[in-house]
Amino acid sequence: MAASIKAKLQVALLAMAMSAEALVSPDGTGRVPAMGWNSWNEYACDINETVFLEVSDLLVELGLKDLGYTYVNIDDCWSNKELRRDNTTQRIIPDYVKFPNGIDGLAKEMHAKGLKLGIYSDAGTSTCGGYAGSLGYEDIDAAAWSEWGIDYLKYDNCNVPEEWVDEYPYYPEGGYPTPPLGYDYGASKTAQRYGAMRDALLAQNRTIQYSLCAWGHAHVEQWGNGTGHSWRMWGDIYPSWAGQDGYSWGLMPIVNQAARHWNDTGFWGRNDWDMLEVGNGNLTLEESRSHFALWAAFKSPLIVGTRLAGISEEVLSILRARELIDFNQDARHGEGVMPFAYEGEVPPSTNQTAHPPSHYVGTSAKGMHVFLLNSHDEDRDVEVRFGDVPGLLRGRAYLVHDMWTGEDVGVFSGGVTVRVKRHDTAALRINLAKGCAGTQTHPNPQWTPSTSHLF
Ligand SMILES: *[C@@H]1O[C@H](CO)[C@@H](O)[C@H](O)[C@H]1NC(C)=O
Ligand SMILES: *[C@@H]1O[C@H](CO)[C@@H](O)[C@H](O)[C@H]1NC(C)=O
Ligand SMILES: *[C@@H]1O[C@H](CO)[C@@H](O)[C@H](O)[C@H]1NC(C)=O
Ligand SMILES: *[C@@H]1O[C@H](CO)[C@@H](O)[C@H](O)[C@H]1NC(C)=O
Ligand SMILES: *[C@@H]1O[C@H](CO)[C@@H](O)[C@H](O)[C@H]1NC(C)=O
Ligand SMILES: *[C@@H]1O[C@H](CO)[C@@H](O)[C@H](O)[C@H]1NC(C)=O
Ligand SMILES: *[C@@H]1O[C@H](CO)[C@@H](O)[C@H](O)[C@H]1NC(C)=O
What pLDDT, in 10s, does the model give residues 98-156?
A: 999 999 999 999 999 999 999 999 999 999 999 999 999 999 999 999 999 999 999 99
Read off the pLDDT of each residue in 54-58 and give the average, rounded to a whole number.
98
31: helix, strand or coil: coil
Separation between Cα atoms, residue 101 and residue 223, nearest integer Å: 38
Asked if residue 240 has its Cβ within 6 Å of ligand 6, the reply is yes
The percentage of residues in the chain with a pLDDT greater than 90, rounded to a whole number, is: 83
Question: Are 391 and 443 in contact, with CB atoms under 8 Å apart?
Answer: yes
Q: Which of 435 and 405 is assigned the larger pLDDT?
A: 405
Nearest atom in ligand 2 to the alpha carbon of residue 83 is 5
**CA neighbor of 411 nearest in space, from 425, 423, 421, 397:** 397
Give the pLDDT score at 455: 19
Nearest CA to ligand 2 atom 5: 86
Nearest atom in ligand 1 to the alpha carbon of residue 97 is 14
Tell me: pLDDT of 404 over 90. yes
Read off the pLDDT of each residue in 177-193 and give the average, rounded to a whole number.
96
Asked if residue 281 has its Cβ within 6 Å of ligand 6, the reply is yes
Nearest atom in ligand 4 to the alpha carbon of residue 263 is 1
Catalytic residue among 166, 236, 264, 330: 236
Asked if residue 242 has its Cβ within 6 Å of ligand 7, the reply is no
Nearest CA to ligand 5 atom 10: 266
Give the pLDDT score at 258: 95
Q: Which of 33 and 433 is assigned the larger pLDDT?
A: 33
Mean pLDDT over each residue of the chain, to the nearest integer: 91
pLDDT in tens, 324-342: 999 999 999 999 999 988 7
Strand pairing partners for 85? Answer: 92
Catalytic residue among 141, 156, 274, 424: 156
Q: What are phi and psi of 82, to 5 degrees?
A: -85, -50
Give the pLDDT score at 438: 55
**Ligand 5 interacting residues, C-beta cut-off 6 A:** 17, 20, 22, 225, 264-269, 334
The Å distance, Cα 126 to ligand 2 centre, comes to 20
Read off the pLDDT of each residue in 74-97 and give the average, rounded to a whole number.
98
Strand pairing partners for 269? Answer: 266
Give the pLDDT score at 453: 23
Q: What are phi and psi of 252, to 5 degrees?
A: -65, -40
The percentage of residues in the chain with a pLDDT greater than 70, rounded to a whole number, is: 89
Active site residue 236: yes
Read off the pLDDT of each residue in 350-358 and give the average, rounded to a whole number.
83
Tell me: pLDDT of 47 over 60. yes
Sign of CA dihedral 24, 29, 33, 39: negative
Rg for the chain, CA atoms, rounded: 22
The Å distance, Cα 264 to ligand 4 centre, comes to 7
Asked if residue 446 has its Cβ within 6 Å of ligand 4, the reply is yes
Separation between Cα atoms, residue 97 and residue 38, nearest integer Å: 20
Active site residue 156: yes
Q: Which of 300 and 394 is assigned the larger pLDDT?
A: 300
The Å distance, Cα 210 to ligand 4 centre, comes to 24
Nearest CA to ligand 4 atom 9: 263
Separation between Cα atoms, residue 267 and residue 289, nearest integer Å: 25
Nearest atom in ligand 5 to the alpha carbon of residue 224 is 13
The Å distance, Cα 226 to ligand 5 centre, comes to 9
The Å distance, Cα 146 to ligand 3 centre, comes to 9
Q: Which of 17 and 234 is assigned the larger pLDDT?
A: 234
34 burial (CB, 10 Å; 0-12 / 13-18 / 19+) is: buried
| Closest ligand to Cα 147 | 3
Torsion of CA 96, 98, 99, 103, to 10 degrees: -100
Asked if residue 354 has its Cβ within 6 Å of ligand 7, the reply is yes
pLDDT band at residue 443 under the 50/70/90 scheme: low
**CA neighbor of 420 nearest in space, from 453, 386, 372:** 372
Tell me: pLDDT of 201 over 50. yes
Question: Are 73 and 37 in contact, with CB atoms under 8 Å apart?
Answer: yes
| Closest ligand to Cα 422 | 6
